[in-house]
Amino acid sequence: MISLDGVTVTAGSSTLLRDVSLAIDAGTWCTVVGPNGAGKTTLVAAVAGLRRPAHGQVRIDGQDLHELHERDRARLVAFVPQHPEVPAGMSVGEYVALGRVAFHGVLRAPSRRDRDVVDGVLERLELEGFRGRDCASLSGGERQRMVLARALAQATKVVVLDEPTTGLDVRHQMDILEMLTKEVLECGLTVLATLHDLTLAGLFTDRLVLLHRGEVRLDGAAHEVIRSRELAECYGTTLRVVNVDGSDVVVPVRGDTGR
Amino acid sequence: MAWTSPPSARRVAVVTAATVVAVALAVACGLVVGPTSIPASRILGDALSHLGVGHSSLTSLQSLIVWQVRAPRMVLGLLAGAMLAVAGGTYQGVFRNPLADPYLLGVAAGAGLGATVAIVDMSNAFATPAWTPLLAFAGAMVAVTLTWLVGGRNLRSTPATLVLAGVAVSALFTSAQTFLQQQSSTQSIARVYIWLLGSLANASWHSVLIVVPYVVACTGVCVAAGRALDVMSVGDDEARSLGLSVRSVRLVVVVASSLGTAAIVSVVGLIGFVGIIVPHIVRLLVGTSYRRILPISVVFGAAFLVLADTVARTVMAPSELPLGVVTAVIGAPVFVLILSLRRTGSS
Q: What is the ipTM of this complex?
A: 0.92
Of the candidates B267, A17, B218, which has an alpha carbon nearest to the alpha carbon of residue A4? A17
H or E segment to which residue B286 belongs: helix B274-286
- Compute the distance between CA of residue B86 and CA of residue B78 in angstroms, rounded to an integer: 12
**CB neighbour burial string for B294-322, b if at least 16 within 10 angstroms, e if fewer:** bbbbbbbbbbbbbbbbbbbbeeeeeebbb
215-274 in chain B: CB under 8 A from chain A:
224-225, 227-228, 230-231, 233-235, 237-238, 240-246, 249
- Residue A217, SS3 per DSSP: strand
Lowest-pLDDT range, A185-189, A227-231, B280-284, B335-339? B335-339
Mean pLDDT (chain A) is 92
Distance from CA of B283 to the nearest CA of A (A): 10
Average pLDDT (B228-237) is 93
Whether the CB-CB separation of B17 and B53 falls below 8 Å is answered with no
Give which of B85, B79, B298 is closest to B204, Cα–Cα.
B79
β-pair type (A215-221, A207-212): antiparallel
* pLDDT for B122: 62
- Taking an 8 Å cut-off on Cβ atoms, the answer to whether A90 and B227 are in contact is no
| pLDDT tens per residue across span A150-203 | 999 999 999 999 999 988 899 999 999 999 999 999 889 999 999 999 999 999
Which residues of chain B are within 8 Å of residue A74 when distances are taken between CB atoms? Answer: 241-243
- Within 75-134 of B, beta carbons closer than 8 Å to A belong to none
Residues B297-315, mean pLDDT to the nearest whole number: 93
Candidates B242, B244, B247: best to mutate against A (most CBs of A within 10 A) is B242
Q: What distances in angstroms separate CA A122 from CA A110, A118, A164, A178, A189, one per listed residue?
A: 16, 6, 18, 16, 17
B115: closest CA of chain A, how far (Å): 37
Nearest CA in chain B to A104: B243
| Chain A nearest C-alpha distance from B347 (Å) | 13
Q: What percent of chain A has pLDDT over 90?
A: 76
* B56/B176: higher pLDDT: B176
Q: Which residues of chain A are within 8 Å of residue B224 when distances are taken between CB atoms? A: 107
- Phi and psi torsions of B333, nearest 5°: -65, -40
Q: How far lies A55's CA from each of A41, A212, A216, B92, in Å?
A: 18, 19, 16, 37
Q: How far is CA B20 from CA A153, B87, B297, B301, B308, in A?
A: 37, 20, 11, 11, 16
Peptide bond into B318 cis (omega under 30): yes
Binary contact (B230, A99; C-beta < 8 A): no
Task: Look at residues B8, B81, B15, B89 and name the one whose alpha carbon lies nearest to residue B280.
Answer: B89
Q: What percent of chain B has pLDDT over 70?
A: 93
A132, B6: Cβ pair inside 8 Å?
yes
What are A3's strand-pairing partners?
Answer: A23, A59
Name chain B contacts of A98, Cβ cutoff 8 Å.
230-231, 234, 242
| Cβ-based burial of B125 (10 A; exposed 0-12, middle 13-18, buried ≥19) | exposed
Partners of A88 on chain B (C-beta within 8 Å) are: 3-4, 288
Candidates A69, A65, A31, A71; CA nearest to A48 is: A65
Q: What is the dihedral of CA B108, B113, B115, B116, to 10 degrees?
A: 130
Q: Chain A residues with CB inside 8 Å of B1's CB?
A: 136-137
Q: Within an 8 Å CB–CB cutoff, is residue B6 touching chain A?
A: yes
Q: What is the mean pLDDT of the segment spanning B32-48?
A: 85
CB pairs under 8 A between A and B: 91
Q: Do residue A90 and residue B245 have CB atoms under 8 angstroms apart?
A: no
Where residue A18 falls (left for φ over 0; alpha for ψ -120 to 50; beta otherwise) is: beta
Cβ–Cβ under 8 Å, residues B225 and B91: no
Q: Which residue of B has its CA nearest to A75?
A: B243
- At residue A194, φ and ψ (nearest 5 deg) are -110, 145
Q: Are B262 and B173 in contact (CB under 8 A)?
A: no
**Which residues in B lie closer than 8 A to residue A60 (C-beta atoms)?**
none
Half-sphere exposure of A56 (CA within 13 A, CB side): 21
Q: How confident is the model at residue B347 (pLDDT cuts 50, 70, 90)?
A: very low
Phi, psi (deg, nearest 5) at residue B292: -95, -45
CA-CA distance, B246 to A103, in Å (whole number)?
16
pLDDT for position B193:
83
Interface contact flag, B238 A78, Cβ < 8 Å: no
How does DSSP classify residue A134? Answer: B
Q: How far, in Å, CA of B100 to CA of B84, rounded? A: 12
Quickly state the pLDDT bin for A20 (edges 50, 70, 90).
Answer: very high
Question: First and final CA of chain B: distance in angstroms?
Answer: 10
Residue B15's nearest CA partner among B338, B340, B346 is: B338
Q: What is the pLDDT of residue B318?
A: 76
Q: Is the pLDDT reported for residue B299 higher than 80?
A: yes
CA–CA dist B21, B13 (Å, integer): 12
Query: pTM to 2 decimals?
Result: 0.89
CATH of domain B28-346: 1.10.3470.10
Q: What CA–CA distance (Å, rounded) separates A240 from A226?
A: 9
CB contacts of A94 in chain B (<8 Å) are 6, 230, 289
List residues in chain A touching B: CB distance below 8 A: 45, 48-50, 69-75, 77-79, 81, 84-91, 94, 98-99, 101-102, 106-107, 132-134, 136-137, 150, 154
Average pLDDT over residues A210-233: 91
Identity (one letter) of the amino acid at B44? L
Residue B127: band (very low, low, confident or very high) from pLDDT cuts 50, 70, 90? low
Identify the CA nearest to A225 among candidates A71, A53, A30: A30
Q: Tell if the CB–CB gap between B5 and A79 is shorter than 8 Å.
A: no
Closest CA to B323 of B209, B230, B195: B195
Contact list in B for residue A154 (CB cut-off 8 A) is 242
A42, A66, A98, best to mutate vs chain B, most B CBs in 10 Å: A98
- Return d(Cα B52, Cα B46) in angstroms, integer: 10
With CA atoms as reference, report the closest residue to B90 among B238, B273, B226, B214.
Answer: B226
Other beta carbons within 10 angstroms of residue B135's beta carbon come to: 21
Please name each of the domains of chain A with its CATH number: 2-253 (3.40.50.300)
Task: Give Cβ neighbours of residue B298 (< 8 Å, ≥ 6 apart).
Answer: B82, B85, B86, B219, B223
Classify residue A26 by its DSSP letter: T
Is A187 in a helix, a strand, or coil?
A: helix
Judge contact between A160 and B238, C-beta under 8 A.
no
Of B224, B242, B287, the CB nearest to A74: B242
Question: How far off is chain A from B226, nearest CA to CA, in Å?
Answer: 8
Q: What is the pLDDT of residues A73-100, one digit of tens each?
A: 999 999 999 999 999 889 999 999 999 9
Cβ contact A21:A6 at 8 Å: yes
d(CA A231, CA A219): 11
- In angstroms, what separates the C-alpha of A139 from chain B's closest C-alpha? 11
Q: Provide the pLDDT for residue B346.
A: 47
Q: Write down the pLDDT at residue A80.
A: 95
Sign of the CA dihedral A143, A144, A147, A149? negative
For residue B49, pLDDT over 60 is answered with: yes
Helix (H, G, I), strand (E, B) or coil at A195: coil
* Residue B55 burial by Cβ neighbours in a 10 Å radius (0-12, 13-18, 19+): exposed
| A107 to B227: CB separation less than 8 angstroms, yes or no | yes
Chain centroid to CA B22: how far? 17
